[in-house]
Structure 1
Amino acid sequence: MSLQIPADTPVAFEFKSLSLKLLSFVPATLDAARLEAALRDKLGDGEHMLSGEQLAIDFDSLPTLPSAMEIAALMQLLRQFGLKPVAARGGNDDQQAAAREAGLVVLSDEATAVVPPAKQVEKPVPAMIVSRPVRTGQQVYARGGDLVVLALVSAGAEVIADGNIHVYAPLRGRALAGARGDVSARIFTTCLEAELVSIGGVYRTLDDALPTSLKSKPAQVLLDQEKLVIEALAG
């Protein structure tokens, strides 16, 4: 006996085409110690600009064939840094089989693309204002907006913003503006002594390379055609 379903009954499901784009993580090694040190150097120990991002692990740069156990260990390491590995791409058939065994979905090249982190959200977000010094080893991240620091940013400290960064005191640590891809972001400070600056993912270490016209002076950092430019601020 067949079951009669009324014609006006809503459908239980449907299939739809989905254009899927994920941020790719491209390991050149599966050495856990090396990867952990590199991730910590890049992202720090707290919340960072890629927290919560879903990843597709790209096998194209691995010199050896990974086992499912090694891939599972890599996935666990990425999760420790707030990242979410969900898929794999590239590599040969054996690498893709190991990825499936480790619980990853294997995607075709057409399904993924290497994309920068999402740009700053359109909805205005109030600037984060920090009135206390940012000490060595500390990290401050203004998600979705600007960061204003009214005190010293010590050497070894890190200030990050999806928008602009303003430091009205000596900037001696690392400053990363436009952290999620906003190439129009800028860094402003009344005393430029930074170790590293970055706009939209383009980095430059400063060390002792600053000329006397800029070192310890009011300055801004901006991106001009994928090149970081440091300019003195008049007045």
Structure 2
Amino acid sequence: MTVLDNNNQASSAAPALAFYGKMLTFSRLQFSTDDLVAIEAQLAETLSNKTSNIPILIDSEVEQDLSALVELLWSWGLQPIGVVTGKLDEQARAQRLAIFPADGKRIERILPSKKAAPQVAKVAEDKNADLANNKDTPAINDTATETTISDVTAESLVSTEQITSLIYDQMLRSGQSLNHVGGDLILTNSVNSGAEAITDNSLHIYGRAQGRLVAGATGDKDARIFCQVFNPSLVSVAGTYCLRDNLPEHVIDKSVQVRFIEGEGLVFTVMDET
């Protein structure tokens, strides 16, 4: 989890780098051919000039000469930042391009390795103590990770840490960006206008939401948004978004659930109506 405050200057004691999330806008170009002549012809039809400087993600259904394709896109004012995982992964690694997960997949969370070992040891001790004291009792389910305690091993614990909910109790102020990768993000306070809350899983807000709300940020179509007082400037689930001006009027300032349905897009449900 990272909270970025755009209104505050970094102090002299700030770390040299920090991982954080900020919602960025880029387009995804899907390619069904490796014919560069045909691709350039369509670019000429689509783009009015060569100075758009649009960041784009390459999503190809066929093998490509990635180096030549990247050069072509740059020549038309587009800025390739990476590829969708698939046929171009090996070439992308060689060219130091980012590889993004396919729809419905999550990006692996970056975990602090020094903290993992003590956590594994502690839970292993707790597990052994529970088994010793409760030999005849049924296995207990861990609601945070939905993993049965009796099945937990040191290896599986490290992997399940990637699916962990985060509870954030403070108000998210204008200019702040709260990002959580690896599980649900739960805010017990409000999201002010100009702030944003982003997660690759589901987003829960027990307060008033006026900023930007993003769930399923890496393409998880099962992700949802639950909001007690719904009035965001932007809402997005699994890459499908809706701006404030296009929200259904009957959901404004209501308790609302937002989800993505294939073929329909975003579906808004008022939860306190019977």
TM-score range, shorter chain: 0.5 to 0.7
Question: Cα RMSD over matched residues?
Answer: 4.1
What are the Cα deviations for residues 122-171 of structure 1, in whole angstroms up to 9, with x where unaligned?
Answer: 73522111100001111001111110001110011110001000000001
Q: Structure 1 90/152 Cα, relative in aligned 2: closer, same or farther at 3 Å?
A: same
Using the alignment, how far apart are the partners of 1:219 and 1:135 within structure 2? Answer: 21
Offset of residue 115 of structure 1: 8.0
The aligned residue for residue 30 of structure 1 is none
TM-score (ref. length: structure 1) = 0.54
1:218 aligns with 2:202: no
The aligned residue for residue 111 of structure 1 is 88
The aligned residue for residue 175 of structure 1 is 213
Could you say what secondary structure the match of 1:218 adopts? strand
Higher helix share: 2
Count of matched residue positions in the alignment of Structure 1 and Structure 2: 156
What are the Cα deviations for residues 5-37 of structure 1, in whole angstroms up to 9, with x where unaligned?
Answer: xxxxxxxxxxxxxxxxxxxxxxxxxxxxxxxxx
Q: Structure 1 156/89 Cα, relative in aligned 2: closer, same or farther at 3 Å?
A: farther
Could you say what secondary structure the match of 1:159 adopts? strand
Offset of residue 215 of structure 1: 1.1
What are the Cα deviations for residues 55-86 of structure 1, in whole angstroms up to 9, with x where unaligned?
Answer: xxx9955879x9xxxxxxx9xx99xxxxxxxx
- Contact 2:22–2:177 (CA<8 Å) still a contact in 1? no
Using the alignment, how far apart are the partners of 1:117 and 1:89 within structure 2? Answer: 23
The aligned residue for residue 48 of structure 1 is 21
Using the alignment, how far apart are the partners of 1:126 and 1:229 within structure 2? Answer: 26
- Contact 1:116–1:181 (CA<8 Å) still a contact in 2? no
Q: Structure 1 110/177 Cα, relative in aligned 2: closer, same or farther at 3 Å?
A: closer
Structure 1 runs, 4 residues or longer, greater than 6 Å off? none
Using the alignment, how far apart are the partners of 1:160 and 1:49 within structure 2? Answer: 8
Could you say what secondary structure the match of 1:169 adopts? strand
% of aligned pairs identical?
Answer: 28
- Contact 1:49–1:179 (CA<8 Å) still a contact in 2? no
1:203 aligns with 2:182: no
Using the alignment, how far apart are the partners of 2:23 and 2:208 within structure 1? Answer: 27
Using the alignment, how far apart are the partners of 1:180 and 1:198 within structure 2? Answer: 11
Choose which of 60, 69, 74 in structure 2 pairs with 1:90: 69
Structure 1 unaligned residues grouped into runs of 5+: 1-45, 52-57, 67-73, 79-86, 99-108
Offset of residue 48 of structure 1: 2.4
The aligned residue for residue 157 of structure 1 is 195
